[in-house]
Structures are given as C-alpha cells and as structure tokens.
Amino acid sequence: MSEKTVPLTREGKAKLEEELEDLRAQRRVVAERIHNAQEQGTSQNDAEYDDAKLEQGMLEGRILELEDVLRRATVIDEAGAHKAGRVMVGSGIQVEQDGKKRHYQIVGAPEADPVNGKISNESPVGSALLGRAVGETVEVNVPKGVIKVKVLKID
C-alpha cells in the first residue's frame, strides 16, 4: 500500500474511525453467521455460508483500507487554511463556475463528498484550485470538456 500521507479534517478522521469500529463490531456477527451455517451443514445453508463468506471478505477489505488510511492520515489545519491567502487543503472556497456561484471545501480523497461541496484535492477541480488566490481563474479539464473556475472568496 502507498506511504503517501492522507489529509483529513478532524471531522473526517473521526467519521472514518467510527466506521472502522462499526466494521470491527460487524466482524463478530459475520463470523457467527459463518459458524452457524457450517454447523447446520445442509445444502440449503450453502448459499447462506457463501453469502456470509463474501460479506466477510468485503468487510475485511474495507477494514484493511480504513486502517491504512488512518495510519497515513494527517489532520488538516482548517483554521490556518481558512485564513490563508491561497487555496490549500482544508480551505473553503466560493467560486464562479459555469456562471453559477458554488462553495467547495478542499478535502483529502477519503472524505470527498461532491454532493455536499467537499471535493478531493486529487480531483481535477480540486487540484487545479490548489495554490490559487482570490480573483484567479483557472481552466480545468473535466470529463465533459474544459471549464473555467474563478476563485471569488477563500473562507
């Protein structure tokens, strides 16, 4: 797995830690389902066993992913980002895009939620905005073509 640090807000880190604890609790439930299906040993329970094993695999994969992200996490200085003169990870920014005003917060990839205005620092728009100041316009290559985004305010 990659050793690159992962920027997270305090809130984002707390959510990932909570999800990890929930998944660890689900481990016991899934293990019990597997055990019960094995004990009954009928062909009728083979599907239940297979389903539980599949769920266990996905659960363990997500647990490993979250443990890796949290191990590499660095908490963003949101207060500093809000006062910075340039866009950085943690910044809240108001932009004009496609003739509409929008508000984004630049966050690390694991907590990106574009529907709620949290865009990844690795996304085309997020990475293009990093280091920009109020008044700057940047052209961004996105799947639908090139768009212009102007930074109106950093908060």
Q: For 128-148, write each residue's pLDDT tens digit.
A: 999 999 999 999 998 889 999
Fold category of 6-75 in CATH: Helix Hairpins (1.10.287)
**Model confidence band, residue 79 (pLDDT cutoffs 50, 70, 90):** confident
Distance between first and last Cα of the chain: 34
Q: What is the pTM of this model?
A: 0.79
- Residue corresponding to tokens 């910075």: 84
Fold category of 78-154 in CATH: Chitinase A; domain 3 (3.10.50)
Contact yes or no for 136/151 (Cβ under 8 A): yes
| pLDDT the model gives residue 98 | 84
Per-domain residue ranges for the chain?
Answer: 6-75, 78-154
- Residue corresponding to tokens 């940047």: 138
Q: Do domains 6-75 and 78-154 have the same CATH topology?
A: no
How is residue 141 written in tokens? 């290559």
